[in-house]
Amino acid sequence: MGVVAFDPFEPGFVESPYGQYGRLRANDPVHWSDLLQGWVLTRHDDVVALLRDLDISVELDNARPSAVVDQQRERQARTGRNSDTLVLRDDPDHNRLRKLLQRPFGPRPVEALRTMVAERVDGSMAELAGRDGMDVISDFAYPLPVAVFNEMLGLPDEDAPQVRAWIAAVARMLDPVIDDEEHGRCNVLMNEMYDYLDTQIEAKRRAPADDVLTALVQAEEDGDRLTRDELVGQVVTLYVAGHEPTMSLIGNGLLALLRHPTQLALVRSRPDLLPNAVNELLRYDGPNQFVRRIAVQPYTIDDTTIAPGDVIYAAVGAANRDPARWDDPDAVHVDRPDAAHHVQFGSGIHHCLGAHLARLQAEVALGALLSRLDDMALAGEPQWSERMVIRGLQYLPITYRAAAAA
């Protein structure tokens, strides 16, 4: 076997990175990547231990200089934005921001949104029922999360197409492998999004409404409130975290079921399995592939000691396919008893704030597709985005016929 290395440019990686993850996990599970100038962890237990370690940092200021870190710092300085978000803050700042943000995204408030999400999905399905084919991404999965989030925040539906373009740009900027020209283009769009949200937040201050954005504007914990810059930064983060992974979960998940027809038939025959199926699809081919952390003191795994200041990329996509943790990890089993133990939404104090909302939307959306469309089949080759951090489809063509009314 030749040299094993992390290489997102390897032929076939975009279509499926899991073969490369498997080679790294088997031969070099604590892997130094010259490309990323950081460590790549691919074993489940190593990833979970890192994400739960309270002495590991998320703040780029703690990273030692390298070509990649220096570029990221320079880009962050140009944007002047990213440090305002809780996902890039350590405690106590992270804990303070999370307390102010978490109330609307808990299990009960999110479950209360099920009717609204179902109505949005019903509207989409009614438009699609008269057709015999669609691109699942552009016609269904892409518009849904922004429409849901806009309604939650109390923002106009007519702004959704522009918001989607902004979100895609911000999500692309998460990748460490992006050239300066594309980063600059995305930065322009991100600044437009910040300006738009700043205007909307000011409108909610002047005229409060019964929506989540007003609740965040008014949020207070022990006399503490979000500053204006913090609030805009968190809303951008929530948009990206709520849209891109949810869209990708619906697309990736449906493709996985189409490629596992016995599992598709099983979940159709047993709708009670749908919540577990969503967790299994998150495990099998979830959107979040990497989480970045920084060591602040020597960190030892097996015989390797990671130095303070080194950047570590926890490959959650690889962890969720680790055969040491999962039986038959490269196949979908919608009734897998431990599917909910995936690390797609992270672990520890930085566990994803929007996890409940993403699962709810995917459950309602996939449930509608499976119950209302018969004879679904691929109508061409799916096309994947080339992003490293958030894995998702750009194009998923299918044919179908509308199911007969019950």
The pLDDT of 53-73, averaged and rounded, is 92
pLDDT per residue over 267-311, tens digit each?
Answer: 999 999 999 999 999 999 999 999 999 999 999 999 999 999 999
Q: Which of 111-115, 164-168, 321-325, 384-388 has the lowest mean pLDDT?
A: 164-168
pLDDT per residue over 326-366, tens digit each?
Answer: 999 999 999 999 999 999 999 999 998 888 999 999 999 99
Rounded CA-CA distance 57/49 in Å is 13
What does DSSP say about strands 311-314 and 38-41: parallel, antiparallel, or unpaired? parallel
Percent of the chain at pLDDT > 70 equals 97
The pLDDT of 43-72, averaged and rounded, is 94
Higher pLDDT, 269 or 153: 269
β strands within 219-297, DSSP E: 291-295
Nearest to 248 by CA among 291, 290, 282: 282
What's residue 177's pLDDT? 75
Q: Above 60 in pLDDT, residue 392?
A: yes
Structure tokens at 14: 């975009």
Sheet holding 397-402, edge to edge: 133-135, 397-402, 373-378
Percent of the chain at pLDDT > 90 equals 61
Q: Above 60 in pLDDT, residue 140?
A: yes
